A = this chain, B = another copy of it.
Amino acid sequence: MYYIGVDVGGMSIKGGLVTEAGDITARYTVETQRYSEEYGIAEDIRKVVDGVLAEGKVGIGDILGIGIGQPGSVDSERGIIRYSNNIPLERVPVVAQLKKFYDVPIYINNDANCAALGEYVFGAGKGYRDIVFVTLGTGVGSGIIIGGKLFEGRECAGAEAGHMVIVCGGERCNCGRRGCWEAYASVSALIRQTKAAMDLHPDSLMHQEAAAEGKVSGKTAFVAAKRGDKAAQQVVDRYIDYVGEGLVNLADIFRPDVILLGGAISKEGERLTSPLQKKMDAEAFGAKFNPRVAVKIASLRNDAGILGAAALVCSDRT
């Protein structure tokens, strides 16, 4: 038997046929469109599901269930996309729409929640019971597992740690608040911080790196710092410190077994986790008498979306 995981993104909707062990044996992708009343996102998800079944040469009878990971605010209980910014959507009862076509359990949840579940079921979170997953990507997303279960807050509207203020009165965030963690620890924030340092340091290797890549990216400062550039190292150190402020906050609030880092920046691996673990051990509340919180890199990488969505199905069965 298989799961189908569907990863909805701003550019594409990717589906995968997932074995119970977490292997992806077939894939199908469509481009994301602008959806309307006439042609809704459920139509495209159907194309993806049917494509996955055809590619995998299986029928719906071989499927334990379909999971959908969706950016934005999702009412997972009622199966409704409440609101999505990147793909303009509002109050779409997507699970009910799909149920007409597939007689299997269908689940939808926020993409960061899915990623957390995916790590718990198939990835670096295996064997832990209490996990905080943080994605350092375009934004900062979080998914929280408490006692082996996804914690979503009332009406699935919690676990938005990216919008926790860490710099009162600081940078304006997309959400409207000032000083959100996301405004300091996302890739977009790191790019802004890198550009500001480049302006101040015209001789920095960051200029070379940006020229070579054709743009300033989340890697610019990390690569230049590796080559010994001091200004770049300062950018990296300060960025990691911002990331750490939020992680320690979450450790004090949830005291999980482990915090897992995903998203583009997590590719930096130990360069990220080593200073963050040090900060965690030094600053988490009551280090002397409280259990340690480990900081690790998430393991599912590019398949996190599909596997996380598939995990919605099996986590329901456990």
A154 adjacent to chain B (CB < 8 Å): yes
- Report Cα–Cα, A270/B282, bound state, in Å: 39
- Docked-complex contact A166 and B163, CB < 8 angstroms: no
A161 adjacent to chain B (CB < 8 Å): yes
Mark out the residues of chain A between 253 and 290 whose CB falls within 8 Å of any chain B CB in the assembled complex: 253-257, 282-283, 285-286, 288-290
CB proximity of A25 to chain B, nearest CB, Å: 36
A109 adjacent to chain B (CB < 8 Å): no
- Docked-complex contact B253 and A154, CB < 8 angstroms: no
| Binary contact readout A125-158 vs B (1 if CB under 8 angstroms, 0 otherwise) | 0000110000000000000001000010111011
A303 adjacent to chain B (CB < 8 Å): no
State the interface size on chain A (CB cutoff 8 A). 46
Q: A73-B289, A168-B245 are in contact. List 6 more A-B contacts (CB 8 A).
A: A90-B289, A129-B154, A153-B253, A154-B257, A161-B253, A164-B253
- Docked-complex contact A154 and B166, CB < 8 angstroms: no
Residues of B within 8 A of A73 (CB): 286, 289-290
Closest B residue by C-beta to A279: B177
Mark out the residues of chain A between 170 and 185 whose CB falls within 8 Å of any chain B CB in the assembled complex: 170, 175-177, 184
User: A285 with B83: in contact, given A154-B256, A253-B158 (CB under 8 Å)?
Assistant: no
- Report Cα–Cα, A159/B255, bound state, in Å: 8
- Report Cα–Cα, A285/B163, bound state, in Å: 7
A165 adjacent to chain B (CB < 8 Å): yes
- Report Cα–Cα, A177/B279, bound state, in Å: 10
Residues of B within 8 A of A82 (CB): 286, 289-290
A117 adjacent to chain B (CB < 8 Å): no
A211 adjacent to chain B (CB < 8 Å): no
Among A154, A167, A286, which residue has the most Cβ atoms of chain B within 10 A?
A154
